[in-house]
Amino acid sequence: MDRLKQRWGINSNLELIAIFTVFAINGSFAAWVAKPITEFIGLSPQTVSPWLFWPLRILLIFPIYQTTLPLVGWLFGQFKFFWAFEKKFLSRLGLGFLFRTKE
C-alpha cells in the first residue's frame, strides 16, 4: 500500500480508501446510467446479437465513466486526484489536446 500511496502522491490511508471507494462507486454508477440509455436507443441482448450488444454497451459506459469520475471524486474530496488522473489517462489515449490551454 505504501508504494501505491507514494506513486499516487497521497499521504494517508483514508485518502486511499476514498479513492478506492470512488472507483467502485463510479464504475457501478456508469453501468447503471448506461442501462436506460441502451434501452432508450433500442439496444438489448434480445434485439441485437450479444456479440454486438456488449461492445456497444462498453463503448457507451466508457465516456459516462470518464465524465463522472471527477464528479464522484469531488463528492469524496478527491477532485484534484481524479482530475489529474483523467488528464493523464485521456492523454495516453491520444486525447490530451482536450486539456491543452492556449498560450
Q: Please write the tens of the pLDDT for every residue from 47-66.
A: 888 899 999 999 999 999 99
Q: pLDDT tens across 14-25, in order?
A: 999 999 999 999
- Give Cα 83 distance to the centre of its chain: 11
From CA 96, how far away is CA 84, in angstroms rounded? 12
Whole-number average pLDDT of the chain: 89
pLDDT value of position 97: 74
Q: How many domains, the chain?
A: 1
Q: Which residue has the cell 490530451?
A: 96
From CA 98, how far away is CA 48, in angstroms rounded? 34
Q: Work out the pLDDT band at 2, boundaries 50, 70, 90.
A: confident
- Give Cα 15 distance to the centre of its chain: 18
Please tell me the pTM assigned to this model. 0.79
Whether residue 98 is predicted with pLDDT greater than 80 in this model: the reply is no
Q: Which domain holds residue 27?
A: 2-99
Q: Work out the pLDDT band at 69, boundaries 50, 70, 90.
A: very high
Give the closest residue to 20 by CA, choosing from 88, 63, 66, 78. Answer: 78
Whether residue 90 is predicted with pLDDT greater than 90 in this model: the reply is no
Q: Which helix (H) or strand (E) holds 33?
A: helix 13-40
